[in-house]
Amino acid sequence: MRFTIACPQCGARGIARAMEKKSETDWEIDFQCDDVTCGHTYRTKLEMFPPELPIPKRQRRSNTELQFDL
């Protein structure tokens, strides 16, 4: 699967060519227009929200077996 976004110059498909991780929640992605007559290259920023890292999963509580008097 390719990461694509419309070219801001001509509107054709722009394909992600390189990605640089800036932090745990930020990336910069370089795109190149797929239209050879345009050939525009551009950089985008991808930021994850919320910017805080997710809360770690807690360990599952142990289930106590129910005892029934039959």
pLDDT digit string (tens) for 5-54?
Answer: 999 999 999 999 999 999 988 999 999 999 999 989 999 999 988 766 66
pTM: 0.66
- Nearest of 23, 27, 30 to residue 5 by alpha carbon: 30
pLDDT at residue 62 is higher than 80 = no
| Pair of tokens at residue 50 | 């919320």
Q: What is the pLDDT of residue 63?
A: 67
Cα dist from 25 to 39, 53, 70, whole Å: 29, 8, 56
Q: What is the pLDDT of residue 58?
A: 77
Share of the chain above pLDDT 70, in %: 81
Burial of 29 per CB tally in 10 Å (0-12, 13-18, 19+): middle
